[in-house]
Amino acid sequence: MVTMKEKTLEELQDEFNSLTRKRNQTILDLEEATKKLVELAEKIYEKSPDYVKIVCPSCEGTGIINTEEGKKVKCPSCQMRGFVWARKHKGVDKLNDD
């Protein structure tokens, strides 16, 4: 039977630090990918005839909401942009003159 040598404190700390660096880089990579996805979604919405940009109904365009505790926080609906994209109602461009 092969017995594995127990790692020293220094080896454990090195392994921990290495994994921490990898995790932090993965988080940065994920944040960058998310930013690019949001930018692409914006371009899709802008070019699509099915969407319209509206003032955020949660924060009324300020990008900030007040919590029940009285704190000002980033609006979770628009992410401080002040607007959200909404899908147009079918027939919105075909108003009746009746």
Residues 57-67: tens digit of each pLDDT:
999 999 999 99
Q: How far apart are CA 90 and CA 51, in angstroms?
A: 11
**pLDDT tens-digit profile of 79-98?**
999 999 999 887 655 555 54
pLDDT of residue 4: 74
What confidence category does residue 5 fall into, taking pLDDT thresholds of 50, 70 and 90?
A: confident
- What average pLDDT does this structure show over 72-76? 95
Residue ranges per structural domain of the chain: 9-47, 50-89
pLDDT of residue 1: 65
- Contacting residues for 67 by C-beta, under 8 A, at least 6 apart: 73
What confidence category does residue 70 fall into, taking pLDDT thresholds of 50, 70 and 90?
A: very high
**pLDDT tens-digit profile of 40-61?**
999 999 999 999 999 999 999 9
Closest CA to 83 of 64, 57, 65: 57
CB of 56 closer than 8 Å to CB of 84:
yes
**Distance set, CA 67 to CA 1, 22, 59, 73, 76 (Å):** 62, 36, 11, 7, 12
Q: How far apart are CA 15 and CA 29, in angstroms?
A: 21
- pTM (two decimals): 0.62
pLDDT of residue 71: 95
